[in-house]
Structure 1
Amino acid sequence: MNIIIVGCGKVGYTLVEQLGGENHNITVIDTNEEKVNSITDDLDAMGIVGNGVSFQTLSEAGIDHADLLIAVTGSDEQNLLCCVIAKKAGHCKTIARVRNPIYNNEIAFLREELGLAMIINPELSSAAEIARIFQFPSAVKIDTFSKGRIELLHFRVTHDCLLNNYELIHIRTTLKCDVLVCMVTRGDQVLIPRGDFVFREGDVVAIVSTPPKANDFFKKIGIGAGRARTAMIVGGGTIAYYLARRLLEVGIHTKIIDQDPARCEHLSELLPKASIICGDGTDERLLIQEGLENVDAFAALTGLDEENILLSLYAKRTSRAKVVTKINRINFSGVLSDIKLDTISYPRLVTADMIIKYARSMNESLNSNVENLYKLEDGHAEALEFYIKEDSAVTNVPLNRLHIRKNILVCSIVRGGQAIIPSGQDELHVGDYVVVVLTHARLNDIKDIIEG
């Protein structure tokens, strides 16, 4: 497809990086020449210096032939206006990033009235992801499918975990757990394991299951599954606001620490049930005074990656809290994996995943829709959810008789609202929602799972 991206900040750069791997023709627009040059020098994209709201600039970028325009400048209003002009000028699909909480209750109205394909709020999506983690602290990461009926949970095998030196096949035969191990990350390797696979300490394991059965599994392997009751957030930005609101809604007592008095006053008005502390979140004495040693969950959400990393390491050393670290830059992901932080949240990767999902679903000729997509392990693996629209070579045939390509695993089927963890005898039917995990490959359609 021909894609135009307006805005060359961190999110714009990540989008070009991720979408470039999908074999699209990409043109970027920004008023900052240095940012445009940075992208065009590093990545496979054309660049134009100009204002994305300008019809002339959009014409120069090829709006007449564009299939998709994505507006991710720093201004919500500019993003919306850019999409409106693009639709009038070129009749392409449009996506706008809108982050200000003031628009949160108006997203559906704006999308419908302005004719947008999608409005993305990465801060809201990141907050939702962190809130899920705090409600299930055993997991390092949680991805949801089929409106929460199916979850992909990532957790680390510890020294005293039952899975340490345990053979995979025994999870079903001995533990009698209805979960499917779909991926294991060991060092730099990302594996889809077979029944004879033996877990080791330090492995990051991804399982697919329903929430109740996942709880049962974690209890049996000796990992606590109880949710957090108290949470501390350092940094009072937009993600912190969305996160605190979610946590308070489910009864988790929440405390926010920020050093900007005006921001603290604003948060006190928006979140009357939260405890808002005005102070330096990097001050050890303040953190101890505010009860860091006894909290169940801790989120480092300041605007500085380095500060978030140090805060998280201190929280891990000082407390038994589940710790989440927000990272804006992803250049040092290898180093971060060596540090072994609990959970890392990358807001701009959330945006990229949502847009890639939409881009893959734009081909109307396919016999299935891409309903969800998550990039896993720095892009080395993917989890996709398909909705099967019509019969094809993969339907009405037992899975063990399909010639499924190497490094692809069918993880779950949701049929009539009921979740199924599939065995070899299960079949795919029209109307099913199917979750597939894969490494070293790419899928646009459910038919792509079989050898051609």
Structure 2
Amino acid sequence: MRVVIVGAGEVGSHIAASLADSHDVVVIDIDSERVEQMNYSHDVLALTGDGASLETLEAADAASADLLIASTDDDETNLATCGTAKALGDAFTIARVKHVGFLRTWERSRGTFGVDFMVCSNLLTAEDIVQVIGLPAAVDVDWFANGLVQMAEFELGEDSPLLGRTVSEADQFELLTFAAILRDDAVELPRGDSKLESGDKVVVIGTPETVHQFAQRAAPKAAAADTETVFVVGGSEIGVQVARLLQTRGIKPRLIEQDPDRAREVAEELPATLVLNVDATDTSALDRENFGMADTVVATLDNDQKNLLVSLLAKRLGVDQTIAVVETGAYRELFETVGVDIAVNPRVVTAEEITRFTREQTTEKLAFIEDDRAEVLEVEVGGESVLVGRPIRESIADLPEGVVVGAIARAGALVSPRGETVIEPGDHVVLFVDETVAAEVTATV
């Protein structure tokens, strides 16, 4: 497939890296330094120019492209790029936008702006945040098989009762699979005698009920606390969308916004949310609102430094869980190292969503673990799949090392994937796959 990507920032370069191995990729950016770096670091053809201009797209031969992805940081540029691409040829167009208003317009009339598929960074980021709030002990959560299967990643803290135990001792649930242990920079496929250590990140796949039960064992204090009190700090669009999504789950969040005019706008937009017009660094005002007793604080202010400050202040005041939006991808690890529980980067979330969409022909659903160190994917297996017709312990031997069968959904019910389990044609199989063998596995199953 021939793919043209407009925008070589964090989103565009992330997508290019994931597609370059199996597709013919052309990247366009107005910044010549970025273009030079792309040509040096990725197996792509990178060109300098304005991706919204007819001349630049003609130079990139966008008329013969199968797919065009507009991923710059400017919504209007991305929409104009897709419209221009449609004037040149028949490429399927994907536009990245930040503002939910553009998405709502497009949803009302798909194809508007010359866009075939639209991805909204602010809404995706809010959805990512709210998913994690739903399972307080987890650092990453995703769903498969129409909600039958949940994947969750847990970091084992120093007080976890599972430390020093083996996987076989920790795995006490019939419909739960230990998919991986992430330790330092390594991805380890767990064996029964694998011992769990402080700082390990454990990926489990199972029913929502068994995942929650595992959370109670891995982090009893966090998992036992019902998420009732949530503060959203910042009336940004991400903050407003987080509050709106929480409302739909029956949680009435409190939103802190320092600007009185913006606070009034948000209060009118979200009648079920208590909007507080205070400074999020004013500890006296926060004490009056019982900020330190919150179950979760979500920092969605307009820059990374403010979000870090608010998150660390919240932890100091006693908040159980802190989630911060971080716009600079390089800062994510720093945020979590200094004490923020979960750092969410809108650009990474967006790039992953676009990459998922480009691979829908081979997978039903795709999730990324730890910035592409591994993938969890759902496939509907046909009669010719190497997984079908034999016990899993035999069929898995025909796949490269680095694959775990995490769950099997059959006729609306979950089947426990043990060594003797036989996968049948039409089953939806959820696989944990090491990134180094992902392309080979996708082509095989």
Q: TM-score, normalised by structure 2?
A: 0.89
User: Counterparts of 1:320 and 1:356 in 2: how far apart (Å)?
Assistant: 35
Q: Give the stretch that moved more between structures: 260-269 or 38-47.
A: 38-47
The alpha-carbon distance between structure 1 residues 7 and 290, as it changes in their structure 2 partners (threshold 3 A), is farther
Shift of 1:231: 0.8
1:418 to 401, 410, 413: 413
Cα pair 1:386 1:445 within 8 Å, conserved: no
The alpha-carbon distance between structure 1 residues 448 and 53, as it changes in their structure 2 partners (threshold 3 A), is closer
Q: Secondary structure at the match of 1:299?
A: strand
Q: Mark the runs of 5 or more structure 2 residues left unpaired by the alignment.
A: none
User: Counterparts of 2:433 and 2:61 in 1: how far apart (Å)?
Assistant: 35
**Structure 2 partner of 1:199:** 196
CA RMSD of aligned residues (A): 2.6
Runs of 4+ in structure 1 off by over 6 angstroms are none
User: Counterparts of 1:49 and 1:269 in 2: how far apart (Å)?
Assistant: 45
The percentage of aligned residue pairs carrying the same residue is: 29
Shift of 1:340: 4.5
User: Counterparts of 2:81 and 2:383 in 1: how far apart (Å)?
Assistant: 37
**Structure 2 partner of 1:430:** 425
1:171-226 CA distances to partner (integer Å, 9 max, x unpaired)?
34xx3453111111222322111111111122111111111122233334562244
Q: Give the counterpart letter for 1:211 in structure 2.
A: P
Q: Secondary structure at the match of 2:191?
A: coil
The alpha-carbon distance between structure 1 residues 116 and 179, as it changes in their structure 2 partners (threshold 3 A), is same
The alpha-carbon distance between structure 1 residues 429 and 176, as it changes in their structure 2 partners (threshold 3 A), is closer
Cα pair 1:4 1:69 within 8 Å, conserved: yes
Q: Give the stretch that moved more between structures: 26-35 or 117-126.
A: 26-35
Q: Secondary structure at the match of 1:253?
A: coil
**Structure 1 partner of 2:2:** 2
Q: TM-score, normalised by structure 1?
A: 0.88
Q: Give the counterpart letter for 2:247 in structure 1.
A: L
**Structure 2 partner of 1:53:** 52
Cα pair 2:137 2:219 within 8 Å, conserved: no
User: Counterparts of 1:442 and 1:88 in 2: how far apart (Å)?
Assistant: 38
Cα pair 2:142 2:367 within 8 Å, conserved: yes
Shift of 1:105: 3.8
1:178 to 171, 175, 180: 175
Q: Secondary structure at the match of 1:331?
A: helix
User: Counterparts of 1:232 and 1:438 in 2: how far apart (Å)?
Assistant: 36
**Structure 1 partner of 2:403:** 408
Q: Give the counterpart letter for 1:392 in structure 2.
A: S
1:305-320 mapped onto 2 (5 Å cutoff): 305-320=304-319
Q: Give the stretch that moved more between structures: 159-168 or 293-302.
A: 159-168
Q: Secondary structure at the match of 1:264?
A: helix
1:67-126 CA distances to partner (integer Å, 9 max, x unpaired)?
211112344344334223323412122111233222444444443566744211122122
Cα pair 2:298 2:323 within 8 Å, conserved: yes
Q: Report how many residues are paired.
A: 441
Q: Give the counterpart letter for 1:215 in structure 2.
A: H
Q: Secondary structure at the match of 2:308?
A: helix
The alpha-carbon distance between structure 1 residues 427 and 111, as it changes in their structure 2 partners (threshold 3 A), is farther
Q: Mark the runs of 5 or more structure 1 residues left unpaired by the alignment.
A: 363-368
**Structure 1 partner of 2:67:** 68
User: Counterparts of 2:120 and 2:237 in 1: how far apart (Å)?
Assistant: 10
**Structure 1 partner of 2:143:** 144
User: Counterparts of 1:107 and 1:148 in 2: how far apart (Å)?
Assistant: 26
1:375 to 2:372 alignment: no
User: Counterparts of 2:264 and 2:332 in 1: how far apart (Å)?
Assistant: 35
The alpha-carbon distance between structure 1 residues 36 and 284, as it changes in their structure 2 partners (threshold 3 A), is farther
User: Counterparts of 1:19 and 1:171 in 2: how far apart (Å)?
Assistant: 37
1:188 to 180, 185, 188: 185
1:160 to 2:159 alignment: yes
The alpha-carbon distance between structure 1 residues 181 and 107, as it changes in their structure 2 partners (threshold 3 A), is farther
Shift of 1:240: 0.8
1:247 to 2:243 alignment: no
Q: Give the stretch that moved more between structures: 211-220 or 395-404.
A: 211-220
Cα pair 2:100 2:120 within 8 Å, conserved: no
**Structure 2 partner of 1:441:** 436
The alpha-carbon distance between structure 1 residues 23 and 303, as it changes in their structure 2 partners (threshold 3 A), is farther
The alpha-carbon distance between structure 1 residues 313 and 270, as it changes in their structure 2 partners (threshold 3 A), is same
Q: Secondary structure at the match of 1:443?
A: helix
The alpha-carbon distance between structure 1 residues 192 and 107, as it changes in their structure 2 partners (threshold 3 A), is farther
**Structure 2 partner of 1:111:** 110
Q: Secondary structure at the match of 2:337?
A: helix
**Structure 1 partner of 2:392:** 399
